[in-house]
Amino acid sequence: MFSLPIRIYWEDTDAGGVVYHAQYLAFLERARSEWMREHGYGQELLRLQHDLVFAVRAMTLDFLKPARLDDAIEVTAELCQCRRASAVFAQAVRRGDELLLTAQVRVAALDARGFRPRAIPPPLHDQLKALEHPAA
C-alpha cells in the first residue's frame, strides 16, 4: 500500500496544537497525487498528454483520534475502484500503529480545458484498473 510520510507543523494546527480538521484534506490530496505520480501519472502529465484532471466528487471521513504538532504521520492511498469516468480511493492517516482517520474519496475525471466530465482514456483506464485493490 502506498504511504506518504508527513510531519505536522504549526501551520497545520489550531491554537491548541491539534491538526485542524480541514488540513487532513490537503494531506489526503498529497497522498493521492503522489500515488498517481508513483505509477507514472503526475498531474501535469495527465493534463498535458491526456487532457485529463481528477477532481474530488465525494468524500467520507471518519476522524478517530487527533494528530498533534510535531507528530510524524503516514497517509495511505489505495485505489479501490476504477470506473469509466471516476475512481474511488481508500485512505487512512496513521501515527505509528494508531489509526487517526479513515477516508473514502471518489474522484471524477474531467477534461482539463473545460472541466466537463469525461471518460478516462482507454489505455490509462486499463492501467488503473489493473492497480485496483477492492475494499474488503
Q: Is 14 an active-site residue?
A: yes
**Cβ burial 117-127 (10 Å sphere, 16+ → b, else e):** ebebeeebbee
Query: How far apart, in whole angstroms, are the C-alpha atoms of residue 71 and residue 118?
Result: 39
27, 6 contact by CB (below 8 A): yes
Which residue among 14, 62, 70, 126 is the active-site one? 14
Q: Which residues contact 42 (CB under 8 A, 6 or more apart)?
A: 33, 36
Q: Give the active site residues.
A: 14
